[in-house]
């Protein structure tokens, strides 16, 4: 369950074992100290893996949901089309409820649903095969998309640049290469070298546990910093660009990403450092007018107060606010790096035909 980038083999976040009717998930809650691959068969297990971040990152969540929907369909016994469609619909709704912010989750499930809508006259056996083909197509498309994002993002940086990233938008968040880290990996394949600065990304430490893990494994010069150190690093001239991923882009260019991203964008703007959002077109929600319309997932307070501590580190009586994401306003984003090219402001994703 590994995938080669031309640099090194890193664990693959999610893949399908069709022979055994299982979804294979690298448990990212255990990284970097333990590498464990989960073998999931039941919808409740797959939904839970998405919800508690055993699989995470917008593209990887979409792939996991597509495979999960197919496996649910595969479990159906019988030839009754209406019963099969109802069974599939229930599984789709269950998966869709796992996390509200990442648009790729619902996007992938809607693609799977369209297969059934377009082929309702087919037998249950044929529908199952068509769903499998669509899920594999979603995975294959993601691989091509990530490579293209890497190629396009590489045009924005040069050999030896310092790059700051927040959260994890690398291979562990996609099928291969990643989004925000794709330019780094593609550049390294061509002999280029970069200096990466990883925000630790509280409270779940995706930067410390995941980004630092995969970058150092790939041989990238990597420095881990606390979230509140970004301004200090930028002020010393060590950062020439910021690359982040995102979970949803609104029609006006506002982008929701892991909590703390907007603060990085504000600081980058002050120091005149370009702030780039790397996102596949599947993350653009043209039906969402602005960042105000993006649902922000609220997570357990225990993630802040006790998850990483032997003893609780905050008073039991204190209130805790723990949103998983924040929204970076479009005016702070220098460009979007997509599989179709670099998109410069002003952003009008709903109105422009080229974004269809």
Q: What is the pLDDT of residues 278-299, one digit of tens each?
A: 999 999 999 999 999 999 999 9
CATH fold match for the domains 2-146 and 157-355: no
**CB-CB contact of 345 with 330 (8 Å):** yes
Q: How many CB atoms lie within 10 A of CB 159?
A: 10
Q: What are phi and psi of 23, to 5 degrees?
A: -100, 120
Q: Are 290 and 254 in contact (CB under 8 A)?
A: yes
Residue 326 annotated to the active site = no
User: Dihedrals φ, ψ of 196, to 5°?
Assistant: -100, 135
> pLDDT grade, residue 351 (50/70/90)?
confident
| Cβ-Cβ contacts under 8 Å for 328 (sequence gap 6 or more) | 246, 254, 255, 256, 257, 261, 262, 265, 275, 277, 291
Q: Which residues, other chains included, contact 119 with Cβ-Cβ below 8 Å and sequence gap of 6+?
A: 126, 127, 130
Q: Write down the pLDDT at residue 7.
A: 46
Q: How confident is the model at residue 62 (pLDDT cuts 50, 70, 90)?
A: very high
In words, the CATH class of domain 157-355 is alpha beta
Q: What is the mean pLDDT of the chain?
A: 94
Binned at pLDDT 50, 70 and 90, residue 35 comes out as very high
- For residue 241, give the nearest of 282, 269, 204 by alpha carbon: 269
- The pTM score is 0.92
Decide if pLDDT at 6 tops 50. no
Indicate whether 61 pLDDT > 80.
Answer: yes
**What 3-state class would DSSP assign to 72?**
helix
Check 161, 227, 247, 285 and give the catalytic one: 247
**pLDDT value at residue 356:** 56
pLDDT of residue 125: 97
| pLDDT of 1 above 60 | no
What fold does the segment set 2-146 form as a domain?
1.20.120
CA distances (Å), origin 221, targets 11, 251, 333: 20, 36, 26
> Using an 8 Å Cβ cutoff, are 288 and 294 in contact?
yes
Statement: residue 130 has pLDDT above 90: yes
State the average pLDDT over residues 52-57: 95
Residue ranges covered by each domain of the chain:
2-146, 157-355
> How many C-beta atoms surround the C-beta of residue 340 within 10 A?
15
DSSP state of 207: I
Question: Given this model, what pLDDT does residue 151 score?
Answer: 98
Residues 6+ apart with CB under 8 A from 211: 165, 167, 168, 170, 181, 198, 201
Evaluate whether 266 touches 332 at the Cβ level (below 8 Å). yes
Residues in a beta bridge with 196: 163, 222
What's the average model confidence in pLDDT over 122-135? 97
Helices in the chain by DSSP H: which ranges?
A: 43-51, 58-75, 81-96, 103-118, 124-154, 182-189, 206, 212-217, 230-235, 261-270, 302-305
| Token pair belonging to 325 | 């994401």
User: What pLDDT does 354 receive?
Assistant: 59
pLDDT at site 101: 84
The answer to whether residue 319 scores a pLDDT higher than 90 is: yes
What does the pLDDT read at residue 5?
A: 45
């Amino acid at each position: 369950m590994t995938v080669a980038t031309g640099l090194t083999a890193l664990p693959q976040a999610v893949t399908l074992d069709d022979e055994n009717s299982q979804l294979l998930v690298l448990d990212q809650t255990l990284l970097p100290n333990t590498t464990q691959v989960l073998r999931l068969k039941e919808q409740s297990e797959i939904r839970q893996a998405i919800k508690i971040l055993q699989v995470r990152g917008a593209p990887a969540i979409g792939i996991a949901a597509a495979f999960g929907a197919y496996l649910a369909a595969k479990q159906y016994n019988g030839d009754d089309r209406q019963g099969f469609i109802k069974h599939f619909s229930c599984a789709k709704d269950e998966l869709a409820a796992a996390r509200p912010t990442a648009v790729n989750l619902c996007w992938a499930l809607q693609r799977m649903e369209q297969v059934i809508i377009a082929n309702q006259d087919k037998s249950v056996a044929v529908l199952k095969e068509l769903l499998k083909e669509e899920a594999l197509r979603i995975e294959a498309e993601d691989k091509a998309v990530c490579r293209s994002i890497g190629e396009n993002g590489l045009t924005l940086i040069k050999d030896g640049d310092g790059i700051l990233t927040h959260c994890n938008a690398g291979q562990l968040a996609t099928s291969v290469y990643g989004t925000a880290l794709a330019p780094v990996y593609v550049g390294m394949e061509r002999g280029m070298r970069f200096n990466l600065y990883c925000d630790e990304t509280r409270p779940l430490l995706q930067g410390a546990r995941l980004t630092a893990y995969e970058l150092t494994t790939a041989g990238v010069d990597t420095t881990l910093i606390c979230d509140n150190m970004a301004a200090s690093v930028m002020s010393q001239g060590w950062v020439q660009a910021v690359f982040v991923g995102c979970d949803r882009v609104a029609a006006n260019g506002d982008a929701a990403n892991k909590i703390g991203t907007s603060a990085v964008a504000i600081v980058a703007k002050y120091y005149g450092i370009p702030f780039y959002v790397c996102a596949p077109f599947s993350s653009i929600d043209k039906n969402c007018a602005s960042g105000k319309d993006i649902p922000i997932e609220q997570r357990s307070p225990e993630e802040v107060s006790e998850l990483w501590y032997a003893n609780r580190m905050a008073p039991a009586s204190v209130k805790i606010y723990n949103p998983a994401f924040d929204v970076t306003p479009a005016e702070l984003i220098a460009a979007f790096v997509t599989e179709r090219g670099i998109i410069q402001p002003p952003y009008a994703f709903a109105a422009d035909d080229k974004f269809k």
